Amino acid sequence: MEHFMKAALEEARAGLAEGGIPVGAVLVHRGVILGRGRNRRVQLGSAVLHGEMDALENAGRQSAAFYRESTLYTTLSPCAMCSGAILLYGIPRVVVGENRSFLGEEAWLRRRGVGVEVLQDEACIALMAGFIEARPALWHEDIGNV
């Protein structure tokens, strides 16, 4: 597995070990991880810190020039909120671990010129499938379904 997706998957697994929702992400600037993150709904009672948002938050305040040289790696297809954050900051490329468990706003991202690459990585798929089967109510809360 690609190095950066492996780092995102480590974040997702750390989240699961904390009792959280196993989605992880890393923001990579010119080949260096500047922000790592994972979904914090359970850990912090957060409604906004999905994995991608947590990675952006942990990367700190940055300029548009920084974001435009960055790639976001996320273990799961980004939802409307996370896709909106990608567009707000003009991140030009997103690498997605898988979109079988959940298909976010990839079409919207592509229409707005973001390069979206989907790996359909088996480890990412297995992690989410196992979690969704084990904790369906928590998962549906996270994506605004119940």
Q: Is residue 11 flagged as an active site residue?
A: no
Total length of the chain: 146
Q: Kindly report the CA angle at 48 between 45 and 53, in degrees rounded to 5?
A: 120
Question: Is the CB of 14 or the CB of 42 nearer to a copy of itself?
Answer: 42
- Judged by CB under 8 A, the residue of 14, 18, 84, 92 near a copy of itself is 84
Q: Kindly report the CA angle at 122 between 75 and 136, in degrees rounded to 5?
A: 65
Quick one: which of 35, 33, 32, 40 has its CA closest to 16?
A: 40
CB of 52 to a copy of itself, least distance (A): 10
For a copy of itself, the binding residues (CB under 8 A) are: 41, 45-49, 53, 56-57, 59-65, 67, 79-85, 87-90, 105, 108, 140-141, 143-146
Give catalytic residue positions: 52
